Structure 1
Amino acid sequence: MPISKSKISDMDFGSFENTINKNIETDKASDKFDQQLQAYKDAGYILASAKSELKMAATSLQEAKDNLVKATDKADAVTKAIDSFIAKVRDIKFKAKVDDADIEKLTDARKKLVGDESKLLEDHRKENKDILIRHFYDMSNMMSRNEGVWLSNGWVKTLLWIFLLCFLYTVISIVYFVASCIEK
């Protein structure tokens, strides 16, 4: 029997290898596509969730706005009622007759009150003077012993400016925050 050529040598291993490589690349691309598709689906779920939360927040803000409008209307009604009551009270007039003897008693009482007040103010002035003198001597003694914390006028002015800037920043921040809350 004659020996013939083997059929295996007729096979093209290069094209077989190319086909395997293409299948591997296709599988990799398919996996990558599946991952991207899943990422898009996840992003869609997150977006839908955020959208529903935004709708809930918008509803809540609308309710808050409606409540604020109701409260404002009620406050306006109360203010108008108070204004009308004050107008009625202003319209009330009292008529009284005062006797001359009562006026003299009132004048004497006023003079006595002014005299007593003058005496109290004089006593208060003397007391303050004594306190200031004691304070002056206490401060002199502290300074002579190098005690206490002393700030020069320049430092005090600098600290006051810094405190003023901090206070203004705080007030402006609060006003801005309240204004931004009201506008929403």
Structure 2
Amino acid sequence: MGIGKGKSDKIDIDNLIGSVNNESKATQEASCLAEKVVELEQATKAFNTAIDRADCIITAFNNSVNELQSRKIGAQVHPQTLKSLNDICTNFVVEVGKQLMAHRDKQLELQKEHEERIARMLERNEGIWLSNRWVIFTVIVLGIFCLAVILWAVCK
């Protein structure tokens, strides 16, 4: 044993100071958390107050809309104005009818031209036209080809 040393184990001063610092940090964090909780409670109260005010505003707005919808507005239309409005509507309908008839006639004319062009193609045998003999020949050739491919795949 050395001079000035006691019989007890060594005491770790740094560890003790660290634990005291940790306790003070925990206390600071707890007080900070308490402040945040108080701020959140105040914010919640303010938010609830705003919701109540918004509800009052919406209710008042709905009441105003209902009141305006229930009011009747009296109006009179002069017979001459009503007659001229009726004439305008009638002229509009007649004009649209004329435009639709002109469009229909143009479409019928285009359809006739198209039918005539197809008839000319048929008369000159243009396009792809297969007789029954060539269709049968093509089907037989395709069948033989498919059989050959299948037999080749099986034998391989």
Q: TM-score, normalised by structure 1?
A: 0.45
Residue 80 of structure 1 and its aligned partner are, at CA, apart by 0.5
> Closer, same or farther in 2 for the Cα pair 1:112/1:63, shift >3 Å?
farther
Match of 1:103 among 82, 85, 92: 82
Match of 2:5 among 23, 30, 49: 23
Residue 41 of structure 1 and its aligned partner are, at CA, apart by 0.7
State the distance in 1 between where 2:85 and 2:41 align: 63
After superposition, the C-alpha distances for 1:104-139 in whole angstroms (9 at most, x for unaligned) are: 2122344567769xx9xxxxxxxxxxxxxxxxxxxx
Say which one has the larger Rg: 2
Q: Which runs of 5+ in 2 are unaligned?
A: 100-156
1:73 paired to 2:66: no
Aligned AA (1:76)? D
Aligned AA (1:75)? A
State the distance in 1 between where 2:67 and 2:7 align: 93
State the distance in 2 between where 1:99 and 1:25 align: 120
User: In the alignment, what sits opposite 1:91?
Assistant: 70
Q: How many residues are paired up? A: 97
Match of 2:16 among 32, 37, 44: 37
State the distance in 1 between where 2:66 and 2:21 align: 67
Alignment RMSD: 3.1
> Closer, same or farther in 2 for the Cα pair 1:61/1:111, shift >3 Å?
farther
> Closer, same or farther in 2 for the Cα pair 1:112/1:79, shift >3 Å?
farther
Q: Percent identity?
A: 18
> Closer, same or farther in 2 for the Cα pair 1:94/1:45, shift >3 Å?
same
- Structure showing greater relative contact order (alpha-carbon pairs closer than 8 Å, 6 or more residues apart): 1
State the distance in 2 between where 1:96 and 1:25 align: 112
After superposition, the C-alpha distances for 1:19-60 in whole angstroms (9 at most, x for unaligned) are: 229938857x22x1x222211110111001101110111011
Q: TM-score, normalised by structure 2?
A: 0.52
Structure 1 runs of 4+ with >6 Å offset = none
> Closer, same or farther in 2 for the Cα pair 1:55/1:101, shift >3 Å?
same
Greater helix share, 1 or 2? 1
